[in-house]
Amino acid sequence: MQKQSSGAVSEVLIRGSLITLKRKCGKPTCSCADGEPHATPALSYSVKGKTRILTLRSSDVPTIRQALHNYKVAAAELEKKAISGIRRTTVNIMNAKRDA
């Protein structure tokens, strides 16, 4: 995963879920034929209502996990600001009606 030119990787926001894809490769002599399937980390996300899956390298998982966390924190902060704005607007409208 590369850093964005505007800042560090820790500033990256990603919306989605970290998942593990499990599959058998189909080789009859592979250990997955009789045992545990191969596991691949992946990012599941949606664009315009369509689910997309991006397979990852194991080394990408910590960066993706941090970016997912960053998104959740930013979304929570935005929600707090939105609620605060609704409350302020409600108070202003109620005061304006009372003073009219």
Sequence-distant (6+) residues with CB within 8 A of 66 are 9, 10, 12
Q: How many domains does the chain have?
A: 1
Q: What is the mean pLDDT of residues 31-45?
A: 94
Residue 6 belongs to some domain of the structure: no
Average pLDDT, the chain: 90
Residue 54 belongs to some domain of the structure: yes
Beta bridge partners of 41: 20
Q: What is the mean pLDDT of residues 16-41?
A: 93
Residue 1 belongs to some domain of the structure: no
Closest CA to 15 of 40, 35, 43: 43
Q: What are phi and psi of 23, to 5 degrees?
A: -155, 160
Output 23 or 2, whichever has higher pLDDT: 23
Q: What is the mean pLDDT of residues 75-80?
A: 96
Range of the domain at 81: 12-99
41, 98 in Cβ contact below 8 A? no
Q: Does position 4 have pLDDT exceeding 80, yes or no?
A: no
Residue 95 belongs to some domain of the structure: yes
Q: Give the gyration radius of the chain's Cα atoms.
A: 22
